[in-house]
């Protein structure tokens, strides 16, 4: 009988992935700082391997203190490194960020239009930079190249509903979650970046992580 | 240990065991350096007091006492301490802050053997002039 064993990562492999995420998100924030005059406080990234059926609950519990609702940008990426990136901000983040990226008379319209097009555009632009640079750097470090879907902005006042549907169908198997929390200095905005990748990536990822560390042995 | 060596002890402070392993692999093995490690800023400061390293490689983003705070404490203990920031946080303002706090230089992760060798040669020249 064929053994149906879900591939998994060892604690050492998760440590390597965490350091790669650290390097990649550092590059992403530097890219954003090049574009706008802002400093981003970084935190130590966290990597977890969880069951796909637990994903929605995990994400909801991770994004604590978001009673005012959240804005979420999702972007998928394809390569041997395959998955989804979720950039999560508090609901008012778009208005805060817009003053950095697109200060001008248009900002007035957001007082009466909380899900305005410009606000969405700013969130998408920030997501494009952070996700693109972070995922791109991870792929580069692991010898891969990825392509991206256009980012999708989801504004939802209810955290529980925001994270449903990010398990991609089946409740079977596992998901690798890479999470980092960041805070824009002098702005009341902090956010989360989650990278979600599933079983199909794990087998490649194990070899790629080994290859990455062999450079340093 | 080479008797003429200017650098004898090197301290690596990083909360990631992988980052410490990578950096150790980039330090020339033929120089006979004595390597010491710590896994966060608090432990790093303690190790610095115990070891008195010639050069300290220090990460910035760490949970217990970040690298900037650790750098500040080290420079208060020894204003001539040579501290090299080795970090993923490559924002210009982080580099500026580290420089203002007295860091010798900053290198980005992952480091390469060439960059680490070059930095250590610069540290040797700096320490030679200071003698």
**Residues in chain A whose Cβ is within 8 Å of chain B:** 15-16, 18-19, 22-27, 29-30, 33, 39-40, 42-44, 141, 213, 216-217
**How far from each other are the two terminal CA atoms of chain A, in whole angstroms?**
39
Are A26 and B18 an interchain contact pair (Cβ–Cβ within 8 Å)? Answer: no
Distances, alpha carbon A51 to alpha carbons A10, A54, A85, B35, B48, in Å: 15, 5, 17, 40, 42
Cα angle vertex B81, ends B79, B83, to 5°?
120
**B9-130, superfamily in CATH?**
Response regulator (3.40.50.2300)
Nearest to A40, CA basis, from B22, B61, B86, B120: B61
- Checking if the pLDDT of A159 tops 80, the result is no
- Checking if the pLDDT of A82 tops 70, the result is yes
pLDDT in tens, A18-66: 999 999 999 999 998 888 878 888 888 989 888 878 888 888 777 765 5
- Checking if the pLDDT of A167 tops 50, the result is no
Confidence of residue A133 (pLDDT cuts 50, 70, 90): very high
Domain ranges of chain B: 9-130
- For B1, other C-beta atoms within 10 Å of its C-beta total 10
- Checking if the pLDDT of A170 tops 60, the result is no
Confidence of residue A172 (pLDDT cuts 50, 70, 90): low
> What is the percentage of chain A residues whose pLDDT exceeds 90?
33
Structure tokens at A108: 């007035």
Q: Which residues of B touch A24 (CB under 8 A)?
A: 88
Do residues A78 and A87 lie in contact, with contact meaning Cβ atoms separated by under 8 Å? no
Q: Over chain A, what is the mean pLDDT?
A: 81
Confidence of residue A169 (pLDDT cuts 50, 70, 90): very low
Confidence of residue A121 (pLDDT cuts 50, 70, 90): confident
**In chain A, which ranges are E strands?**
40-42, 46-51, 70-78, 83-90, 147-148, 152-156, 174-184, 189-198
> What is the percentage of chain A residues whose pLDDT exceeds 70?
79
Q: Which residues of A touch B108 (CB under 8 A)?
A: 26
Distance from CA of A113 to the nearest CA of B (A): 33
The total number of residues written for chain A in this structure:
217
Residue B98: Cβ-neighbour burial (10 angstroms; 0-12, 13-18, 19+) = buried
What's the rounded Cα separation, in Å, for the pair B81 and A198? 46
Distance from CA of A153 to the nearest CA of B (A): 27
Q: Which residues of B touch A29 (CB under 8 A)?
A: 89, 91
Model-wide pTM > 0.90: no
Residues of chain B whose pLDDT is less than 70? 1-4
Residue-range domains of chain A with CATH: 11-214 (3.40.1550.10)
Distance from CA of B128 to the nearest CA of A (A): 30
- Checking if the pLDDT of A160 tops 90, the result is no
């Amino acid at each position: 009988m064929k053994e149906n064993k879900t591939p998994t990562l060892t604690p050492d492999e998760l440590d390597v992935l965490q350091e790669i995420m650290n390097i990649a998100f550092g590059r992403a924030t530097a890219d954003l700082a090049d574009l706008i005059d802002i400093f981003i406080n970084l935190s130590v990234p966290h990597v977890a391997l969880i069951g796909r059926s637990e994903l929605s609950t995990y994400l909801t519990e991770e994004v604590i203190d978001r009673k005012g609702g959240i804005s979420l940008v999702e972007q998928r990426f394809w390569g041997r490194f395959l998955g989804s990136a979720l950039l999560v901000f508090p609901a008012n983040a778009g208005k805060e960020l817009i003053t950095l990226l697109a200060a001008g008379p248009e900002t007035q319209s957001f007082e009466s239009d909380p899900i305005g097009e410009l606000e969405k555009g700013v969130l998408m632009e920030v997501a494009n930079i952070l996700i693109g640079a972070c995922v791109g750097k991870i792929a580069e470090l692991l010898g891969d190249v990825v392509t991206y879907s256009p980012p999708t902005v989801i504004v939802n006042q209810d955290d529980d509903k925001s994270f449903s549907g990010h398990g991609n169908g089946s409740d079977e198997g596992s998901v690798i979650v890479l999470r980092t929390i960041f805070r824009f200095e002098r702005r009341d905005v902090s956010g989360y970046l989650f990278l979600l990748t599933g079983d199909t990536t794990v087998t490649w990822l194990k070899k790629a992580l080994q290859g990455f560390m062999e450079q340093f042995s | 240990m080479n008797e003429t060596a200017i650098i004898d002890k090197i301290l690596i402070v990083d909360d990631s065991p992988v980052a410490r392993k990578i950096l150790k692999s980039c330090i020339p093995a033929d120089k006979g350096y004595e390597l010491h490690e710590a896994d966060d800023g608090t432990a790093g400061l303690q190790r610095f007091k115990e070891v008195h390293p010639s050069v300290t490689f220090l990460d910035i983003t760490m949970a217990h006492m970040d690298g900037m705070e650790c750098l500040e404490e080290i420079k208060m203990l020894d204003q001539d301490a040579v501290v090299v920031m080795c970090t993923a946080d490559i924002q210009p303002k982080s580099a500026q802050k580290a420089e203002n706090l007295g860091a010798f230089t900053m290198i980005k992760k992952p480091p390469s053997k060439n960059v680490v060798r070059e930095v250590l040669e610069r540290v040797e020249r700096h320490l030679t002039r200071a003698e």
